[in-house]
Amino acid sequence: MATAKQKAAAKKSIRKARTAWRGMSAQAHARAQPEGRRRAKPGARSSGGFFHIEVRPRREFKTFRTQDVGKTGGIERVAGKRVSGSWDTQKWLISKEHAHRVGARLVPDTADARKILKTLGAPPRHLSGDRFKATDRPNVPERTKPTPAMRRARTRNIRKAQATKRKSSSR
């Protein structure tokens, strides 16, 4: 059992720690923790091999998968799975060999990078380090579907299917 003297000493040390804590800044609070500072976000320090173009916030998703688009290591799509089970693009990763930064703009160096940046709804805005933010391609409302491009694609696919059917039946 703690004596009255020990209790008083404990109260005094707690009071002392509280006043010291109140006088500290947020950075000092982080340094005072045994784990140290919080981990930096991916792309925040400009030391990685990719530019990160966020299309939707991370909080919308519960699971993530990275897919290579085109050749390995050039452009990657980070897909997120929602609680409902649907998948969507969370962000694009463009290799620093495929694009470069000029001021706050991201300039593509290859056709693949140009294609990805063109499909975005708006040009990427620079946040910090290698991180950018953009909107995804515009959502086409159902009442305007099928679009002329969709109609063309559908007729092209039907013609392809008919041609292969003719080839297989003639044998």
Q: Is the pTM of this model over 0.75?
A: no
Give the count of beta carbons closer than 10 Å to the beta carbon of residue 40: 10
What span, in angstroms and rounded, lies between the C-alpha atoms of 52 and 86? 22
What Rg, from alpha-carbon coordinates, does the chain have?
A: 27
Q: Can you give the pLDDT at residue 140?
A: 77
Predicted local confidence at residue 141, as pLDDT: 83
The tokens of 168 are what? 């297989």
Q: Where are the beta strands (DSSP E) in the chain?
A: 50-54, 63-69, 75-81, 87-95, 99-102, 105-108, 125-128, 131-133
pLDDT attached to residue 23: 85
Between the two ends of the chain, the Cα-to-Cα distance in Å is: 96
The whole-number pLDDT of residue 84 equals 92
Reading the chain (171 residues) residue by residue, the pLDDT tens digits are 688 999 999 999 999 988 888 888 877 777 777 666 677 777 777 788 899 999 999 999 999 999 998 778 789 999 999 999 999 999 999 999 999 999 999 999 999 999 999 989 889 999 988 999 998 877 778 888 899 999 999 999 999 999 999 988 877
> What pLDDT is stored for residue 155 in this prediction?
97
Task: Compute the distance between CA of residue 154 and CA of residue 160 in angstroms, rounded to an integer.
Answer: 10
Beta bridge partners of 76: 68, 93
Are residues 46 and 126 in contact, defined by beta-carbon separation less than 8 angstroms?
A: no
- In degrees and rounded to multiples of 5, residue 110 shows phi and psi of -125, 165
